[in-house]
Structure formats: structure tokens, C-alpha cells
């Protein structure tokens, strides 16, 4: 079965809902106040079935009143075909123009025109209105589209209109069933015995009953209990269908129009995005920093427009810009949006989302990336996104959710980029970095390590976290890239040049002897590091470097950060313990203290060191020897 969505458009009271009822037998006006007032206030839905063609056309009937354009926009996002409705007795009216402009901005490419209430006017007048309609749509996507006079009351040309809808629907390009599932919510209600139900038009992907989904931007994790599409229970739905999802464990009050039901783990709500924005002819000028109403899918926010390449945008012009939103939305690259004036309310323009997760932009960056996102191939766009992410981790799952494309096509493009060595997989393929980023990382890491060695010749290497911070790299990316730098060696918590080995200079040998002498003379009660620095009239930082180096060389044993023993003194400690354990299987702290002839202040750190190095094991208040002492 093929599914296509048709949306009505046109001025209030031009007979859109009445025409939908004549076509389908379903009254799309579901609200009591709509039936009482005779106008559509909210979105209405109906189905037009063509079983012989394996086709179902879902119809979204939108309100025509100027104050309800926001409701019209909520239903326009998933539309494939537009049925522009013009009343024969009134002709072109303000909302006829605004609805057509909105459809143009959303890049809807197929449609037809219905002249309703044809039975109320003379033939000559009808021909005049038909000519006016053809002139009105000239230059738009409806130029050359069928213009069909109809009457819901008499049935005039209703069957012809159905046939024309069928012809156009069968020629519509199918939506991305292989993309990630995304359903902007246009209605939320509770169904007795079932719970919370959301409806919308599936923009991409497929979803099945019992599958897990996310509701964003709220971050709700849930599961689909049941699905209906076009009024029938189904097990699976895919892009292009009108869908009702029964969500498990979610209250109606937790959701609202503008939320989006999506495949889990791929999408991130955003409050800023880089875009290409264009103003309609005759629209008022927008200055950089101005605020507008922003419509994307079924969501509506206030956005501040920050223009990148000019200070103001005039009627009919376009510009790269960043939109900073009043709240989070879910977007993918190549999504279409509409902007309206804050006051008075009127449609000003729209555009295309280029980067829904923009990097912080510096003036030196230029706008090359946005040009690629606008005009480049899928492979070029992915390569540029990975490049602009620099050392911020970006995964395959994130890239799949970043752009509106088939998942298999994204995966294919990434594989080709890897074969071309344009991008590099990191961390077993969990993340990607651009080859130019890797090259810059390697050069910078080697340079920083060399600079550190020059300033700190006695230290084993630059601390890993210090190097990561200097490189401004995510922890995951840093850990993945560091092993690729052959000139560097990672040891414990430090990184050094492979060619570097910390060593005391000839001048430092005298200092080394002084340290050994001072510590050795004190036996098991050596001076702490701060005290030793004073005795040697030495900067404590420099002394720390020397002590660590001597520990690494084996001349000293580091008990803790403040306490060091000469290796010969430590070996004496081990010998004394072996003698004790040869006579007795366990040792109390007081006995240990007496064996060494020291105080509790020193005994406890020694015992903690012996325990941590698996020479002794604490059992209650005593120590037993382990293999290293037996």
C-alpha cells in the first residue's frame, strides 16, 4: 500500500472542510465549536482510499482564519500534495495568498486547485475566477496544475477531482522509509481503556508495535502499545502515513503539540541552529538580532535571527544565519521552516536548516561549511560536519540523526570517506574525526610534550589530563587518538616523547647525593618532603621532580606524596619483617613500630604502603605476610 498526505489550503469559509467531506464521506471538523461555528479551528483528518491502485491519501484539513495560521503550519510539515481551495463566489483572498506562500516556503512541489461553490455562480464568472486562479499561481509550484470547478452540494466534478488527486499522488516521490523514525506530534488525547495517544504524519523511517521510542525534547523514554493508521489498527507504519501511537506509561499532561516521537539514541534537542533564511517579496526588513515566530514541523518557538553575512535582510533576499530559539526543538539538516512576524502576525519567509547542531563559530571560520551543507553531496556534508566537530566526539548514531537522509546512505557515505582516508574511526569505530583534525592533533600533541620536557626536564612527562585540556579534546576522542601518535609514549598518568628520558644532569648529581644522605641518616624516621626542601634550601616543586625521578630510577621508594625512603633503607625494612614473620605469623601495629624503632606517625604510612603493594595483608588489627615477604 502506498501512502500520501494531501493538505488543504485556502481562505476561511471557502469550503475546505465541506469539500473534504464530499471527497471522503468524513467530516474533518471534530470539535463541537467547529461544528457550531461552521469553521475549522484546529486540524482535521480524513482518508481518501484508492484500493484498486493500492493507494491511501491521508487528508489534513487546515484552518483558514488568519489567527489560526499557527494551526495550519502544524499540519503542513508532512504534506506531499496541496489542494488549494478558492471559492468561486469570492475569488483570491488574503489567506489564499499566505497559505500558498507557506507551501512554497516548505518546498511542497505538487498540487492542484479546486474552485468550490461553483454552483453559486454563472458560467462566465466561473471562467473569470478560473483565469484569475491560473494567474495567481503563475510562477509557483502550482503553475500549470489542474484548476477544477467543484460543488460539494451538487457533486459537480467531485469524481474528477478524486481522479486528479489519484494521478498526482501516484507520481509523488515516496518519503524515506529507510530513515530514522520521526513523527511530529499534532494532537494528544486520552482514549478510554488505552491511555495516551499521539497523532501526526510520519516524516521518515518505520516503527512497529512494542518498539521503544523517545519523546523529545522532553526526554521521555517509552514504548508503543499500539498503532493505528488511517483509522485501522496496524503492526507497523512508515514514512508518509498518518499515524496514531498509543504510548505506554505516559500521561497526557506530559505531552503537547510540538513534541516529536523518534527512534531512540539518535536525536538531540537543540535551541540553536545554522540556517539559510529567505524573505518573501514584500516582506518587511529583518535586522540581525530581530525576533520572529519560528515554525518547524508542529513546533512553534520565538527565535532571534543572527545574520552571518549582513546586518539586515531585505524583501526577497536570503542569508546564512543562526536562529537562537526560546526553547528546544528536534531538527535535522535539510528540514524546512517558516518564520512569521511577531506583531502584526504575518508570514515573512522561511528557509532550510543547514546545521541543527552548530559548532561555536569564530569569525575566522568563514561560511564554507554552511555552503557545503546547503549545496554539497551527502558525503561532502558528512565530511564537513566531522571536520567542524574537530576534537568533540561525534558518533555514527549522531550523524544519522543530524541529517535528513536514509540511514543506509549515511553509512555508505561514511564507509567511502574512511576508504578515502578523509575521516578516521576512533574507539573501535564509535566516533569519527577528520583526517586534517588528526594531523593537527598529532602535531600539537608532540609540540606540547616537547615544550613540557624543555620546561620540566626532571619530570617523566606531561600529565595526560593537562595535555587533553591543552588540546581541547573530548576524553573519548583523546583516548582514541593518543595511541595513534607514534612519537609519544603514554605511561600511567603522563605522556612523553618516545625519544625523551628524564635524567639528572651532572649538576644534579650532587643534589641526588645530598638527598640520599639526608634521608639515609634518618633511618625509618626521614624528614617529610616540605622539611627536606627547607634543609636543602630547594624549591619544593623542583624537589618533587627530583624525588619522583629518583623513585623511577629505583634510588628511592615513594611511600606517599610526602614520604620517601632510600632503597637500601626500604630493603632493610623488608629484611626485618622477614625475620619477624619467620618467628610469628602475624604482627600488630605496635610490634611493627618496635621492630623498626619508629613512631606511629611513620608506622601507619609504611603499613599502608606494604598493604597496597601486596607485601602484607591487614586482618583485623594485625598484618599477615603475603608472598613478597615469605
The third-level CATH classification (topology) of the domain covering 182-262 is: Elongation Factor Tu (Ef-tu); domain 3 (2.40.30)
In percent, the amount of the chain with pLDDT more than 90 equals: 72
- Give yes or no for residue 43 having a pLDDT over 80: no
How far apart are the C-alpha atoms of 64 and 98, rounded to whole Å?
10
Q: Please say if the pLDDT value at position 34 is more than 60.
A: no
pLDDT over 90 (residue 360): no
Q: Does residue 505 surpass a pLDDT of 70?
A: no
Q: Which fold has domain 377-502?
A: Arc Repressor Mutant, subunit A (1.10.10)
Residue 510: the pLDDT is 81
What band does 205 get if pLDDT is binned at 50, 70 and 90? Answer: very high
Task: Give the pLDDT confidence score for residue 550 in this predicted structure.
Answer: 87
Q: To the nearest 10°, report the CA torsion of 549, 555, 561, 562.
A: -120
Number of other CB atoms surrounding residue 227 within 10 Å: 21
Q: pLDDT-derived band of residue 231, with 50, 70 and 90 as boundaries?
A: confident
Q: How far apart are CA 347 and CA 100, in angstroms?
A: 11
Nearest to 192 by CA among 260, 246, 254: 246
Q: Residue 69 — pLDDT band, cuts 50, 70, 90?
A: low
What is the CATH number assigned to the segment(s) 2-170?
3.40.50.300
- Phi, psi (rounded to 5 degrees) for 29: -80, 105
Residues 92, 93, 99, 100, Cα dihedral to 10°: 30
Q: What is residue 393's three-state secondary structure? A: coil
pLDDT of residue 178: 85
Of 25-39, 57-71, 368-382, 614-628, the one with minimum mean pLDDT is 25-39
Judged against a pLDDT cut of 60, whether residue 198 lies above it is answered with yes
Q: How would residue 32 be classed by pLDDT, with cut points 50, 70 and 90?
A: very low
Query: Which grid cell is 540?
Result: 619544593
Q: Return the sign of the alpha-carbon dihedral for residues 85, 89, 92, 96.
A: negative
* pTM, entire model: 0.81
pLDDT per residue as tens digits for the range 80-123: 999 999 999 999 988 889 889 989 999 999 999 999 999 999 99
Distance from chain centroid for Cα 113: 39
Instruction: Quote the distance between the C-alpha of residue 108 and its chain's center.
Output: 26
Q: How many other CB atoms are there within 10 angstroms of residue 38's CB atom?
A: 10
What band does 608 get if pLDDT is binned at 50, 70 and 90? very high
Within 8 A by CB and 6+ apart from 371, the residues are none
Q: What is the pLDDT of residues 389-398, one digit of tens each?
A: 999 989 999 9
Query: Is 270-358 in CATH node 3.90.550.10?
Result: no
Domain-wise residue ranges, the chain: 2-170, 182-262, 270-358, 377-502, 508-630
Confidence at residue 211, expressed as pLDDT on a 0 to 100 scale: 97
Q: What are 412-442's pLDDT values in tens digits?
A: 999 999 999 999 999 878 899 999 999 999 9
Same fold, 182-262 and 270-358: yes
Mean pLDDT of the chain: 90
Taking residue 613's Cβ as centre, other Cβ atoms within 10 Å add up to 11
Look at 488 and 241; give whichever has higher pLDDT: 488
Higher-pLDDT residue of 602 and 79 is 602
The stretch 323-331 carries a mean pLDDT of: 97
Which pLDDT belongs to residue 29? 44
Q: What is the helix (H) or strand (E) element at residue 296, kind and residue range?
A: strand 291-296
240-274 pLDDT per residue, tens:
888 999 999 999 999 999 999 999 999 999 999 99
Which percentage of the chain shows pLDDT scores above 70?
Answer: 94
Helix, strand, coil content of the chain in percent (nearest 5): 35, 30, 35
Query: Using CA atoms, how far apart are residues 394 and 298, in angstroms rounded to an integer?
Result: 28
Q: Which pLDDT does position 68 carry in this prediction? A: 45
| Cα–Cα nearest to 85, from 62, 58, 108, 109 | 62
CATH of domain 508-630: 1.10.10.10
Amino acid at each position: 500500500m502506498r501512502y500520501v498526505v494531501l493538505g488543504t489550503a485556502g481562505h476561511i469559509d471557502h469550503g475546505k472542510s465541506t469539500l473534504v467531506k464530499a471527497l471522503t464521506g468524513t467530516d474533518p471538523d471534530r470539535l463541537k465549536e467547529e461544528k457550531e461555528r461552521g469553521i475549522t479551528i484546529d486540524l482535521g483528518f480524513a482518508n481518501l482510499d484508492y484500493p484498486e491502485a493500492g493507494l491511501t491519501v491521508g487528508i489534513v484539513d487546515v484552518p483558514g482564519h488568519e489567527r489560526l495560521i499557527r494551526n495550519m503550519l502544524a499540519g503542513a510539515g508532512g504534506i506531499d500534495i496541496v489542494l488549494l481551495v478558492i471559492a468561486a463566489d469570492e475569488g483570491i483572498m488574503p489567506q489564499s495568498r499566505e497559505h500558498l506562500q507557506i507551501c512554497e516556503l516548505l518546498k511542497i512541489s505538487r498540487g492542484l486547485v479546486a474552485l468550490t461553490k461553483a454552483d453559486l455562480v454563472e458560467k462566465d464568472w466561473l471562467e473569470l475566477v478560473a483565469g484569475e486562479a491560473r494567474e495567481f499561481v503563475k510562477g509557483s509550484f502550482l503553475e500549470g496544475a489542474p484548476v477544477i470547478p467543484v460543488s460539494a452540494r451538487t457533486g459537480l466534478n467531485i469524481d474528477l477531482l478524486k481522479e486528479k488527486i489519484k494521478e498526482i499522488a501516484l507520481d509523488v516521490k515516496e518519503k524515506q522509509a529507510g530513515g530514522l523514525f520521526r513523527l511530529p506530534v499534532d494532537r494528544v488525547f486520552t482514549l478510554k481503556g488505552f491511555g495516551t495517544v499521539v497523532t501526526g504524519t510520519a516524516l521518515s523511517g518505520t516503527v512497529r508495535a512494542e518498539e521503544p521510542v523517545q519523546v523529545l525534547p522532553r526526554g521521555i523514554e517509552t514504548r508503543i502499545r499500539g498503532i493505528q493508521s488511517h483509522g485501522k489498527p496496524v503492526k507497523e507504519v512508515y514514512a508518509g502515513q498518518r499515524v496514531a501511537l498509543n504510548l505506554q506509561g505516559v500521561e497526557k499532561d506530559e505531552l503537547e503539540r510540538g513534541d516529536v516521537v523518534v527512534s531512540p539514541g539518535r536525536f538531540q534537542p537543540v535551541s540553536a541552529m545554522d540556517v539559510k533564511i529567505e524573505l518573501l517579496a514584500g516582506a518587511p526588513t529583518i535586522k540581525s538580532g530581530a525576533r520572529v515566530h519560528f515554525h518547524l514541523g508542529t513546533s512553534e518557538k520565538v527565535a532571534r535571527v543572527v545574520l552571518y553575512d549582513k546586518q539586515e535582510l531585505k524583501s526577497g533576499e536570503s542569508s546564512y544565519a543562526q536562529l537562537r530559539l526560546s526553547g528546544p526543538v528536534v531538527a535535522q539538516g535539510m528540514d524546512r521552516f517558516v518564520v512569521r512576524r511577531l506583531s502584526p502576525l504575518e508570514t515573512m519567509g522561511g528557509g532550510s536548516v543547514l546545521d541543527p547542531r552548530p559548532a561555536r563559530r569564530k569569525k575566522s571560520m568563514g561560511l564554507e561549511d554552511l555552503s557545503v551543507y546547503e549545496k554539497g553531496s551527502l558525503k561532502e556534508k558528512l565530511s564537513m560536519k566531522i571536520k567542524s566537530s574537530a576534537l568533540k566526539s561525534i558518533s555514527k548514531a549522531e550523524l544519522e540523526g543530524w541529517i535528513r537522509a536514509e540511514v543506509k546512505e549515511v553509512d555508505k557515505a561514511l564507509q567511502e570517506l574512511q576508504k578515502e582516508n578523509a575521516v578516521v574511526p576512533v574507539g573501535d569505530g564509535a566516533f569519527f574525526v577528520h583526517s586534517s583534525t588528526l594531523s593537527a592533533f598529532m602535531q600539537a600533541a608532540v609540540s606540547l610534550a616537547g615544550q613540557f620536557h624543555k620546561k620540566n626536564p626532571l619530570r617523566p612527562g606531561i600529565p595526560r589530563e593537562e595535555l587533553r585540556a591543552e588540546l581541547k579534546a573530548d576524553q573519548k576522542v583523546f583516548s582514541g587518538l593518543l595511541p595513534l601518535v607514534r612519537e609519544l609514549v603514554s605511561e600511567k598518568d603522563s605522556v612523553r616523547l618516545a625519544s625523551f628520558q628524564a635524567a639528572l644532569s651532572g649538576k644534579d648529581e650532587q643534589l641526588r647525593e645530598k638527598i640520599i644522605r639526608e634521608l639515609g641518616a634518618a633511618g625509618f624516621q626521614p624528614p617529610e618532603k616540605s622539611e627536606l626542601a627547607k634543609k636543602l634550601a630547594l624549591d619544593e616543586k623542583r624537589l618533587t621532580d627530583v624525588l619522583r625521578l629518583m623513585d623511577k630510577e629505583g634510588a628511592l621508594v615513594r611511600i606517599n606524596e610526602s614520604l620517601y625512603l632510600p632503597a637500601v633503607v626500604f630493603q632493610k625494612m623488608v629484611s626485618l619483617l622477614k625475620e619477624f614473620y619467620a618467628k610469628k605469623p602475624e604482627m600488630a601495629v605496635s610490634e611493627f613500630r618496635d621492630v623498626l624503632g619508629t613512631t606511629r606517625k611513620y608506622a601507619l604510612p609504611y603499613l599502608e604502603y606494604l598493604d597496597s603493594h601486596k607485601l602484607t595483608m591487614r586482618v583485623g588489627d594485625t598484618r599477615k605476610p603475603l608472598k613478597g615477604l615469605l
